[in-house]
Structure 1
Amino acid sequence: MDILTAEFFQRALIGGALIAVTAPLMGLFLVLRRLAMIGDTLAHVSIAGVALGFLIHIYPVAVGLVFAILASFAIEVLRRAYRTYAELSIAIIMSGGIALASLLFTMGKSFKMNVTSYLFGSIYTLNQTDIWVIAGVTIIVLTTVLIHKKELFLLTFDEEAAAVSGLPVKYFNIMLSILTALVISASIKIVGALLVSALLTIPAAIGLTLSRSFKQAVILVVLVGEAAVLAGLWIAGVWNLAPGGTIVLLLIGILIVSITTTRIMRA
């Protein structure tokens, strides 16, 4: 139990607890809008930004955040250009992000560039700057969602009705994309770019399985996210396991239990 008193583990718990609120919350909006894969896309683009940050000696998460925001704008532009095939926007930006990341990785070999922690997560290496960034993102996301909860609810369930009612759909779509980019950029050092979409989508899947209303789903995704992240960190710390992988596998276990329980109750 000595690990609980270690400063690095306490920082990990704080960072994990904060991101466990925002990632599942934004994931619920994405899943309901059938944009679940946007998490993977922005994560891969963020990694390209992280790689560039290492190359030019600027805080990698900040550069990754800029890349993710630019990618979110690009996705929205392509979604409007290919209305019938909106998923093309995600595929195109993901391909570009992977290509750019691989190019920057190649360029960074001579600089001993280490991006492994950003690919697979390294929550135990969070520093004070990372905590402040994550806390800032959490405040921005929660404040924005609370202020615009009615508009976001309408946009999520019926975008056409929202447009007809006079809601500035384009503005809110961009806002959601930027919020998602913020959350993903803040998350990649916790669970890694390769697993960040799981933190967005699996709690949403569990919440939608067990809830009977949107409000219940919002509460459930946050509770599930917190439980999985905190329990996953404790398990990984005690048994010396990979934190990101432990959190995701725990989420999958909770999902299996929730689906099984729901089917038994309905039988």
Structure 2
Amino acid sequence: MLILIQKMKINFYEKSLTFFKLFLPDNIYRKLKSTIRSLTYGIYKGNNVWCNICGTSFKKFFLAANGNEICPRCGSIGRARSIWMYLNSIGLDNYKTILHFSPDSSLMKKFKNVYSGHYLSTDYSSEFEAEANLDITDTQLPDNSFQVAICLHVLEHIMDDHLAFLELYRILTPDGICLIQTPYKEGEIYEDKNLVTESERLIHFGQKDHVRVYSYNGLKERLEEVGFKIEKLTFSELDIKKYKLSNSPIIIARK
């Protein structure tokens, strides 16, 4: 009976967030979901999965409608947990400057709380909470000014992605890395500059503000064209299962 009650509470919480997401403006929804999480995350308590950002274990993560597995306490998603694990594995303290595009709020708060270097968050469209509004194709930042750039689910929104690649390469230090992820498809990159309306883009690219769908190999080739050396970020099966890390490839682009 207790297990049944717990499942009912979890289902109510998940359906409530999904409902509010559909009808509330993003800024109000962000504030509301944080409040709901703070009041209800305890119903997820268990030892099956672990959030490496807030340091809490759960019986499971909240499964969002888009497939993201969200920490019920801090709101982290798989790609944020993946980035945090990777940066700590290579020694976060070795990198003194980090630039974060369209920042996940849980990851941004983590950096601000524990990172001793210079961290700058930016979101051009003001969709996310951030400290700056930089254009990724023309940031106006000095050459060689950041050792790490985090660019997750950004490039599929950029009309001239070649300019963005050049800009990322320019602002990274000679030993710099850029961590990149987008939605992917099999085969070739799919884009069509004649598709300009929100309804057309939703049908063809899966989201109304996307302008293409990359393939992993296609994105890799475009990054290599401007000089990046590409690696694919990988994790052990044990860590993927324990922390519910991203199951979509993350690129490490080295200058």
TM normalised by structure 1 equals 0.25
Report the structure, 1 or 2, having the larger helix content: 1
The one of the two structures with greater contact order (alpha-carbon pairs below 8 A, sep at least 6) is 1
Report the structure, 1 or 2, having the larger strand content: 2
